[in-house]
Amino acid sequence: MSGLQETEYILKCTSACAGCSTSLILRHVLAAAGPDTVLVIPACCTSVIQGVYPKTSFRIPVYNVAFAASAAVASGMSAAFEAMGKKTNVIAYAGDGGTVDIGIQALSGALERETNFLYICYDNEAYGNTGMQRSGSTPLGARTTTTPEGKGHKKKDLDRIVAAHSIPYMATACSAYPKDLAGKVEKALATKGPAFIHVLAPCPPGWRYPAEKTIEMGKLAVKTGVWALYERMYETVVISGPTKAAMIKPTPIEEYIKPQGRFKGITPETITTIRLDSERMLRRLAAEEEGSC
Amino acid sequence: MHEIRLHSRGGQGGVTAAKLIALASFRDGKYATAAPFYGAERRGAPVVSFIRIDENPIRIYSQIHNPTHVIVLDITIMDVADVLVGLAPGGIVVLNSPKPIALDGYKTYSVDLTGIALRTGLVVAGSPILNTPVIGALAKIGLFSVDSAKAAISEMFVDIKNQEAALAAYEEMVV
Amino acid sequence: MLTISTGNNAVAAAVRRVKPAVVAAYPITPQTEIVEQIANYVADGSLDTRYIPVESEHSAMAACIGASITGSRTFTATSSHGLLYMNEMVNWAAGARLPIVMANVNRALGPGWNVWAEHTDSLQARDTGWLQIYVSTVQEAYDAVVMAFRIAEDRRVYLPVMVNLDGFTLSHITQQLYVSDIDGFIPPMELDHRISPDDPHGYGCMTGPQDYFRIRYDIERSMRESYAVIQETEKAFADRFSRSYGFTDEYRCEDADVLVITLGTLGKEAEVAVDMLRDEGIAAGSMRIRWFRPFPPLDTRDRELVVIDRDYSFGCGGILADAIRAQTKRDCFSVIAGIGGQEVTYRDIAGFVRDRRIGEEYWFGVDA
């Protein structure tokens, strides 16, 4: 990935798990954002990565706040920097639990108020920091410590919730496609007003696959169409290259599901449901892209 | 100390009238507290406001149970509530009424505040506004000076109709 | 300038003079007038502040935290359920050492819904690390908000301040208000630990027991230092504006045999009761507690104490009475009165004093 992380804003030897895609995402996000950046994080894996007081593993200021509060804290920070005439990037960086569950109200409020900030949800599809309990973002059929038989409910469609706020820029990304991610972060930060990026963050201990397969797992999510990469500028949808490719020739969904221990015991019917939902999502995106051209 | 109980209906301007009475009293160099008693906030519901006026700072926050003055901006309230409760014999009553009403044992003054408001065009959302006319009537009974009444109205309202209505009430009320 | 104002509008008028960079607030009865008035000031250009109309009280305090940590002056206002809803962030604000000022309009807690005065809301926040003051007049509400910013932003304190005023009984009544130029009274805010990309730090990291313990003790150390800062600020205020305040507001206490101890507007009503009792030959005095945190040293000597609580801690007792007993090491007659906006007149208060039974608790209007 030469040329991507010209400057490292995370020091080496953080307390992230081996194969952690969250810290990988952070490296690309911060490299794209540059030094005039403040990161607001709630309780999530990143608060572990941040390190233990009095040390920090970041070379930019990181404001770690209560679980539900990151979007609102970022709102206040953004307003204060604006009042001072500062151009500092305010990035809220929260996990799926802190976004789709406990933080959704604050996020919705901040988007509706057209807060000038970037909100990134890195989605490892469970409460990772506390040992993989179910979140609203956990997919159907996945085992977590609170869904020992596999989750009986579908993954909450965060992106359509965010899209309903009609914001100037939102995108999805995946840790396995760093150039795509970095480009989207740059666009998001150049946006005046609220920007949002939802990044799939495969998690070796949570999804139960070997640490060295973390990139492969991200690529499989995209290639099978379970996870789609695209951008949305207000109503205009642009589907990103890897997902375009997956729409033409998708990899069978089983190749993504089978290597993950969290899907152990999943029924063929559930796999079919996941596949049909993914196909429906891709069809909808394609229609939206066509409609917005 | 003057202890005034003001009866009105939501939307008639009773709460503002209480503030105006307090303000006019300040302009007289006195201390005053105006306290609306809040129940459910809805248009048309009977509302009671309390105003205390004194030479010294007012330290009482509780309701007025033995008023020296009772002001009734809507006499239909008298059908559903005893507006005279707690008023000592000889106490002062000011009624918004086109016809004089006599109440045995009290100094009663009647003035057609609604007629004055309609005549001067003090109507908001279909309701005649009685808060500035009543200030003129109260200046007439000497609760505060005419100058302070004028000052209070001009501090709270820009529209000259308010001064006109107050003046009309001052002139029309028979003392 | 002498004018008239409600308690709520006095708070907003003080905020206008203090000029916070950011105000984030959510409306709730009976605080609503404060946020409406601030929104009006921003709309008419008389207050240059970023007003963030947040979607909840939790976000109101969170946004204040985000703004304050940049070194910007911030304000919010709430009441009752709003204060409870933001409680997590209320604790956070103090722990993060942010000099946020908040007006809390004291109101009872549901169920059932009750919008009238009670102190249980803010007294539940007494252990958060916020300084707390309870005021009794419209003027005092204004003056307390002005002074709160100077006290909070003093680097010996760096703790948030909550200005409490009784719902409706003070928030909605009209009294005279003297407003004047306060320029220079509050120095520009300087937050030593402000967040800045020029000097990156981690904030709110995982913290082990030893460091955490020291950080918590630092809060208490600042709380203790705040006594001096409060006194200095109140003296500077009196020197400039000729209105003096203290930790308590004492009336005819000097030669009193029995003290009525209160919070908020009941303290003014108690003064009238004291005058009545004195006429009857009972040497009463009124001691209104203004600063509840830090809790003031009290000169109660050997006098009998009648404590009125407009609040309650179930399974324990009146919260003020509890604090008075702890501070004075003496028992009192504990009166629970005024809860949920129950009317308490000076005649009632005089009755509490006449019929005092030291060591007992009395629920006004409930007990026989």
Residues in chain B: 175
Residues C228 and C253 both lie in one domain: no
| H or E element at residue C220 | helix C209-241
- Answer whether residue C295 is part of any domain: yes
Residues C17 and C33 both lie in one domain: yes
Q: How far is C19 from chain A (nearest CA, A)?
A: 12
Q: Are strands A169-174 and A230-233 parallel, antiparallel or unpaired?
A: antiparallel
- Answer whether residue C305 is part of any domain: yes
- Please give the distance of CA C149 from its chain centroid, rounded to a whole number: 13
- b (16+ CB within 10 A) / e for B132-170: bbbbbbbbbeebbebebbbbbbeebbeeebbbbbbbbbb
Task: Using DSSP, state whether A228 is helix, strand or coil.
Answer: coil
pLDDT of residue A2: 40
Q: Decide if C177 contacts C10 (C-beta within 8 A).
A: yes
- Answer whether residue C195 is part of any domain: no
| Chain A (135-194) residues lying within 8 Å, Cβ to Cβ, of chain C | none
Identity of the residue in C174, C269, C344 whose CB atom sits nearest the CB atom of B22: C174
pLDDT of residue A22: 95
Domain holding B167, by residue range, is 2-172
Report DSSP state, residue C292. Answer: E
Q: What is the pLDDT of residues C39-54, one digit of tens each?
A: 999 999 999 999 999 9
Residues C292 and C146 both lie in one domain: no
Chain C: residue whose CA lies nearest to A87: C197
Give me chain C's average pLDDT, please.
97
Report DSSP state, residue C368. Answer: -
The answer to whether residue A227 scores a pLDDT higher than 60 is yes
What DSSP string runs through chain B?
A: -EEEEEEEETTSSHHHHHHHHHHHHHHTT-EEEEEEE-SS--TTSEEEEEEEEESS-----SPPSS-SEEEES-GGGGGTS-TTTTPPTT-EEEEE-SS----TTSEEEEE-HHHHHHHHT-EETTEEP-HHHHHHHHHHTTSS-HHHHHHHHHHH---THHHHHHHHHHHH---
Q: What is the pLDDT of residues A137-194, one digit of tens each?
A: 999 999 999 999 999 999 999 999 999 999 999 999 999 999 999 999 999 999 999 9
Q: Where are the domains of chain A?
A: 21-292
Q: Decide if C171 contacts C41 (C-beta within 8 A).
A: no
The position carrying tokens 């000259």 is B160
Cis, bond preceding C294 (omega within 30 deg of 0): yes
pLDDT of residue B11: 83
Q: Exposure of B11 by Cβ count < 10 A (0-12 exposed, 13-18 middle, 19+ buried)?
A: middle
Q: Does A3 touch chain C (CB under 8 A)?
A: no
pLDDT of residue B170: 97
- Residue C140 to residues B61, C8, C175, C341, Cα–Cα distance (Å): 15, 12, 11, 21
- Answer whether residue C290 is part of any domain: yes
Last residue within a domain, chosen from C220, C241, C262: C241
| Chain C (206-235) residues lying within 8 Å, Cβ to Cβ, of chain B | none
Identity of the residue in A62, A78, A105 whose CB atom sits nearest the CB atom of C56: A105
Q: What is the pLDDT of residues C351-366, one digit of tens each?
A: 999 999 999 999 999 8
> Which residues in chain C touch residue A61, judged by CB atoms under 8 angstroms apart?
195-197, 199-203
Contact between chains at C174 and B26 (C-beta distance less than 8 A): no
Give me chain B's average pLDDT, please.
94
C239 half-sphere exposure, CB direction, 13 A CA radius:
7
Q: CATH code at C354?
A: 3.40.50.920
Q: CATH code at C219?
A: 3.40.50.970
Taking the C-alpha atoms of residue C144 and residue C102, their distance in angstroms, rounded to an integer, is 11
Q: Does A11 touch chain C (CB under 8 A)?
A: no
The answer for residues whose C-beta is within 8 angstroms of residue C133's C-beta and 6 or more apart is C144, C148, C161, C162, C163, C164, C290, C291, C292
- Answer whether residue C198 is part of any domain: no
Residues C138 and C54 both lie in one domain: yes
> Which residues in chain C touch residue A68, judged by CB atoms under 8 angstroms apart?
58, 62, 88
Identity of the residue numbered A34 = G
- Answer whether residue C199 is part of any domain: no
Mean pLDDT, residues B125-151 taken together = 95
Q: CATH code at B135?
A: 3.40.920.10
Residues C140 and C63 both lie in one domain: yes
Q: What is the pLDDT of residues C163-222, one digit of tens each?
A: 999 999 999 999 999 999 999 999 999 999 999 999 999 999 999 999 999 999 999 999
Taking the C-alpha atoms of residue A288 and residue C348, their distance in angstroms, rounded to an integer, is 71
Residues C177 and C270 both lie in one domain: no
Last residue within a domain, chosen from C191, C219, C241: C241
The answer for residues whose C-beta is within 8 angstroms of residue B27's C-beta and 6 or more apart is B144, B145, B147, B148, B151, B152
Residues C176 and C260 both lie in one domain: no
> Which residues in chain C touch residue B4, judged by CB atoms under 8 angstroms apart?
none
Overall domain count for chain C = 2
Mutate which of C107, C173, C251, C308 to test chain B, going by most B C-beta atoms within 10 A? Answer: C173
Q: Does A85 touch chain C (CB under 8 A)?
A: no
Using alpha carbons, select from C238, C79, C103, C237 the residue that is nearest to residue C160.
C103
Using alpha carbons, select from C223, C237, C221 the residue that is nearest to residue C292.
C223
**Sign, CA torsion A73/A74/A75/A80:** positive
pLDDT of residue B125: 85
- Please give the distance of CA C200 from its chain centroid, rounded to a whole number: 35
The ipTM estimated for the assembled molecules is 0.95
Q: Decide if C320 contacts C361 (C-beta within 8 A).
A: no
Contact between chains at A35 and C197 (C-beta distance less than 8 A): yes
| Reported confidence tier of residue B44, pLDDT bands at 50, 70, 90 | confident
Q: Does C188 touch chain A (CB under 8 A)?
A: no
Using alpha carbons, select from A195, A185, A192, A233 the residue that is nearest to residue A82.
A192
Identity of the residue in C168, C170, C345 whose CB atom sits nearest the CB atom of B62: C345
| Chain C (105-124) residues lying within 8 Å, Cβ to Cβ, of chain B | 115
pLDDT of residue B45: 83
Identity of the residue in C53, C92, C208 whose CB atom sits nearest the CB atom of A113: C53
CB atoms within 10 A of CB B40: 7
Where chain C has pLDDT below 50, the residues are none
A242 half-sphere exposure, CB direction, 13 A CA radius:
25
Residues C318 and C174 both lie in one domain: no
| Chain C (311-340) residues lying within 8 Å, Cβ to Cβ, of chain B | none
Chains in contact with C, counting 3 or more C-beta pairs less than 8 Å apart as contact? A, B
Identity of the residue in A53, A83, A84 whose CB atom sits nearest the CB atom of C211: A53
Residues in chain A: 293
Taking the C-alpha atoms of residue A204 and residue A212, their distance in angstroms, rounded to an integer, is 8
Chain C: residue whose CA lies nearest to A91: C66
Which fold would CATH assign to domain A21-292? Answer: Rossmann fold (3.40.50)
Last residue within a domain, chosen from C222, C241, C260: C241
The answer to whether residue A43 scores a pLDDT higher than 80 is yes
> Which residues in chain C touch residue A105, judged by CB atoms under 8 angstroms apart?
55-56, 58-59
pLDDT of residue C1: 84
Q: What is the pLDDT of residues C108-124, one digit of tens each?
A: 999 999 999 999 999 99
- Answer whether residue C81 is part of any domain: yes
- Answer whether residue C196 is part of any domain: no
Mean pLDDT, residues B50-60 taken together = 97
Mean pLDDT, residues A204-227 taken together = 98
Using alpha carbons, select from C297, C272, C292, C266 the residue that is nearest to residue C284.
C272
- b (16+ CB within 10 A) / e for A157-189: ebbeebbebebebbbbbbbbbbebbbbbbebbb
| Chain B (125-144) residues lying within 8 Å, Cβ to Cβ, of chain C | none
Taking the C-alpha atoms of residue C346 and residue C358, their distance in angstroms, rounded to an integer, is 20
Q: How far is C175 from chain B (nearest CA, A)?
A: 5
Domain holding C225, by residue range, is 2-181+205-241
